[in-house]
Structures are given as structure tokens and as C-alpha cells.
Amino acid sequence: MAKIGLFYTTDTGNTRKIAKRIKKQFAEDEIELFDMAKT
């Protein structure tokens, strides 16, 4: 199965919390989070 990249950015941290909730719905090796503010 192809890996999913979830790209986000946040000022207040709310988007990070939601991204982590979304990640929990997938197997650990299926999705990777990318905080665009850190790139």
C-alpha cells in the first residue's frame, strides 16, 4: 500500500492536534506527518 503524507502548518497548535488524531486512524506505517513550518 502507498504511504500517505499529511502536510500541515499551524500557528496555535490546533491543526497539529487534529493531524495527530487523523494519524491514529491509520496503521503506523501508512501515514507520516509533515509540519511545513519546520521545513
Q: How would you write the pLDDT of the chain (39 residues) with one tens digit per residue?
A: 679 999 999 999 999 999 999 999 999 899 999 999 987
The length of the chain in residues reads 39
Q: What is the pTM of this model?
A: 0.82
The Cα-based distances of 38 to 9, 32, 33, 34, 35 in angstroms read: 9, 14, 11, 8, 6
Instruction: Specify the pLDDT at position 1.
Output: 67
Domains: count for the chain: 1
CA 22 – CA 2 distance, rounded (Å): 17
The parent domain of residue 25 ranges over 4-38
Phi/psi of residue 20, nearest 5 degrees: -65, -35
Phi/psi of residue 29, nearest 5 degrees: -90, 5
